[in-house]
Structure 1
């Protein structure tokens, strides 16, 4: 297997020539510019390539073990996490008030991409801790914030989301975990949670569980759910956290992939916890965690696709097989075959377009967090809300598809563990499922996000894309991608009108296809911007961008027509067959 090469030159291109990073930083972080940001990303990339990628294969093969109730992670993982935290990476974008560095979120999201590319199992530990930190910072009492935020931000402690139960997955209204007040503002939490990523480990330090549960007098359904902070260790008389709470690991899930990640069944046996937020308002706090986690999961798909592309492109340059153009003698490298190029360009067009869209979205998150103008903050926040289900679902779908295509480049060798490609396929699959399945993301986009501000958020976003496409069309080498994206955008607008006020069945029937159409338009938009920005450069990167953009225009964006036709067909053919006939 090849090593991992961080895409720092692409980051520099996006920051300096496509996304207007320095202008945004003039508004938000005057001490940060493109050169500084790239330096940070280069150092992060070095850590991913030299510390995380080398232990990825062994982590997959050895996996996690549960011995006498204690989780043991694969060799090297605990030390790598401590080195990661000691170097300050867990604090990169966190609030300085809690010990964070307060750096732009775009650096965090691209760090997540590199971590996911090099060791996606590892990335869940800091990623879920960050999500838990967000929920505590936004919803917990000042007392809880004072105790828990700083060690979580520093990486001394880690965080866990404990939401799912055997009978309550997407439908959290069915959860049965109970919490009973015990005095002193604490609660006894009892129940069993499943699929708990990072539920336990051997890194040392506390593990802070954020647990959804019901109070005894809670109303039924989702309106009766509260959120509780339940630490693995409770404070002792001296103020240290050494007293073992009454929660335990019942089992480790046996999984298709992410073997180095301990996915636990957790039993809470009257475990001591404290409420986060208001009684029966746990879903509001949960969605603070989930939205942060959904962006992270989308980036997992992007990172895995990028890593798989690197392996497949290197293999295609080396593997001799078949004949080349008519009249050529001897076998040629398979990169000379059009079908292999088609597969590689399909992956690359997603990875580089997705990387740009992730960066644009992250800068909107920075504006939403820090801009001085409340109207700018609100608009940026609405853009992040609109794009969160798109990035989560489309990036993980395309990430899995890309991993399969990269495996295909290897032929039979891709199916053999020795080459490492089958791990990318296995690891990528879960991202389409956890933190809300991709079908649920599509329902969220069509059923909720399109209705934001009476539809004005989506309409304004489409208008923004149209304006950028007009500008890109003024550059000759961006005309083709701009025109193809404009056609797809019009289909997206028409499909949006079709689904406005549609029935539940109509939304369910069209949601996944609508989200894919939405994502293709967004990727085309980014490719138009990149093709236009590359016009003035003469590096290999600059020369390649318009070529890949035109591939996306000619070979990927035409899918928009089929998607639009399917959306327009409605739900009749899907709902016609009687349920008993399946």
Structure 2
């Protein structure tokens, strides 16, 4: 199996050349310590830790899995030791407030850390990843007392967190939740009910687990308007913040899953467990969106991570595996055959992986910079605007990147042929692991309905207009001008991108008009519209990367071959992947008739 290597050169290219993190951080007084030298050290040290400690546990963790015995969950061999190193190095609190023991560095740096961790060992990354969502929820909606009680240990990493939404009778339709919260005389609540599919719901890595739980108060309104949010610790907390008695919340079982087997997915039973209201009564779903949006961007990273890992393994194999001679002539005359990397179809699959992983990484880093603004914007207006923009692109990131990430992981297996089907190479694990990404935190269909229903129709496309205008402004700034050779080199990208963004604007108006007449049209067009939007978004990122690489080539900056490879990968993207928008633009605008006219009994 190929050893994992963190894509440090590509990360630094995005950080330094494309998005210019240094200039971005200077806008925020809170980030004065995030100097280029410190950023470089953080990326380098995170890469070393993940390559040396986490990656070696990825395959063994999948093979061993988590074990369950009478309510006790044990993580695979090596996980406890690696987690202890993780928290001792301060990785958990990297981007959280200094006042609670964190390092106070930008959210965007925390996302880079999460990507490297996730690519090296996605199952391991689930444990601290869920904690970050719990921490963000408490920071956003908790009282000062709750922040002081829970944030220091969560930031330290000696406690972890979960998100408890789903129940057996309901997944996406949270209005069907039955878990109840009865008020106690001391101001706490007794939480009773069962939750399923709880990632990191029970394990042996931390001394306490803080569950963020959706439940109903007595006489609450029906549906989603009657849901409140509660903090329910595994162990109750004493007044001095030491651990008290065990709370009656127990693990009934863990799921026997297709993938991410080293991540415990628990059934949790709350039997009058003591909980504490967080946020306003009956506004729990709104508060939980803080957690869910964190998780959805994190899940988008899984698509990128699976693409990157599959690419690394299949690239090494394609350079080494000998099979047949190249169609254009012998490439390795001293060998019995040529390496398969010289075959055009193998290159198609490799370049698809490369374009998706690098383009997807750029999309998530773009979102990370917006997340910094939502946290530290100078005014409430600026923070709210950034939050709305992040809300618009989040369903695209989550659904698009997980769908194309699965495609990319599948291509990695295909390059290996029959060997890809064998466990020892790690590619079938990679494919199994990433398959969940388009399911949890809202399926692709749910994300698409969110995009079309809430972000386009209810918003009257205001956020869409801003984003599309931003892309067109970029295209205008880098369009061809006579006498400027760099802009001439960009013409092939800018022309395609600007033309399709104009089509995107027209199609969106048409979509809004058709949706007024046919409600089913919203559901029939939504996934294709989201994927269409995703290819345009990624095209924007590849145009930006090509622009930066061309600038570097003109100025003689950076590694020449690296920058040439960026431009050539951009050419591949616009030649081979971006044209998918043509088919999607037709299918998404078709009436819902061919979907809905067939009778249920005719299936």
Q: Same-fold call, TM > 0.5?
A: yes
1:398 matched residue in structure 2: 404
Gaps of 5+ in 2: 481-486, 554-558
Does 2:462 match 1:456?
A: yes
Deviation for aligned residue 1:38: 2.2
Distance 2:404 2:296 in 1: 15
Instruction: Determine which of 519, 525, 528 is the counterpart of 1:513.
Output: 528
Distance 1:80 1:488 in 2: 47
Instruction: Determine which of 510, 517, 537 is the counterpart of 1:522.
Output: 537
Deviation for aligned residue 1:236: 4.9
Does 2:519 match 1:504?
A: yes
Instruction: Determine which of 203, 218, 221 is the counterpart of 2:220.
Output: 218
1:181–1:46: structure 2 CA closer, same or farther, 3 Å change rule?
Answer: same
Does the 8 Å CA contact 1:248/1:266 hold for their aligned counterparts? yes
Distance 2:105 2:177 in 1: 38
Does the 8 Å CA contact 1:91/1:99 hold for their aligned counterparts? yes
Write the deviation string for residues 113-146 of structure 1: whole angstroms up to 9, x where unpaired.
Answer: 1111111011111111010111111112222111
Instruction: Determine which of 500, 506, 510 is the counterpart of 1:494.
Output: 506
1:550 matched residue in structure 2: 571
Deviation for aligned residue 1:240: 2.2
- Within-5 A mapping of 1:106-505: 106-236=108-238, 240-328=242-330, 330-451=336-457, 454-474=460-480, 475-500=487-512, 502=515, 503-505=518-520
Does the 8 Å CA contact 1:11/1:38 hold for their aligned counterparts? no
Does 2:589 match 1:568?
A: yes
Does the 8 Å CA contact 2:54/2:121 hold for their aligned counterparts? yes
Instruction: Determine which of 50, 54, 62 is the counterpart of 2:56.
Output: 54
Deviation for aligned residue 1:299: 0.5
1:66 matched residue in structure 2: 68
1:327–1:400: structure 2 CA closer, same or farther, 3 Å change rule?
Answer: closer
SS in 1 for 2:205: coil
Distance 2:282 2:544 in 1: 46
Instruction: Determine which of 40, 43, 53 is the counterpart of 2:42.
Output: 40
2:26 matched residue in structure 1: 26
Deviation for aligned residue 1:281: 1.1
1:277–1:326: structure 2 CA closer, same or farther, 3 Å change rule?
Answer: closer
1:453–1:510: structure 2 CA closer, same or farther, 3 Å change rule?
Answer: closer
Does the 8 Å CA contact 2:33/2:105 hold for their aligned counterparts? no
Name the stretch that deviates more: 449-458 or 421-430: 449-458
Distance 1:528 1:203 in 2: 43
Does the 8 Å CA contact 1:491/1:561 hold for their aligned counterparts? no
Gaps of 5+ in 1: none
Distance 1:207 1:166 in 2: 22
Distance 2:16 2:300 in 1: 24
Does the 8 Å CA contact 1:367/1:376 hold for their aligned counterparts? yes
Q: CA RMSD in A?
A: 1.5
Name the stretch that deviates more: 360-369 or 372-381: 372-381
Distance 1:393 1:506 in 2: 19
1:143–1:346: structure 2 CA closer, same or farther, 3 Å change rule?
Answer: same
Name the stretch that deviates more: 568-577 or 404-413: 568-577
Distance 1:570 1:494 in 2: 17
Distance 1:567 1:374 in 2: 37
Distance 1:379 1:245 in 2: 40
Write the deviation string for residues 409-467 of structure 1: whole angstroms up to 9, x where unpaired.
Answer: 11000000111110000000001000111110011011111247542221011010011
SS in 1 for 2:317: helix
Does the 8 Å CA contact 1:495/1:514 hold for their aligned counterparts? no
Distance 1:149 1:235 in 2: 13
Distance 1:457 1:327 in 2: 52
Distance 1:452 1:134 in 2: 27
TM-score w.r.t. the length of structure 2 is 0.94
SS in 1 for 2:217: coil
Does the 8 Å CA contact 2:94/2:110 hold for their aligned counterparts? yes
Distance 1:347 1:497 in 2: 33
TM-score w.r.t. the length of structure 1 is 0.97
Does the 8 Å CA contact 1:528/1:549 hold for their aligned counterparts? yes
Name the stretch that deviates more: 475-484 or 557-566: 475-484
SS in 2 for 1:568: coil
2:9 matched residue in structure 1: 9
Aligned residues between the structures: 582
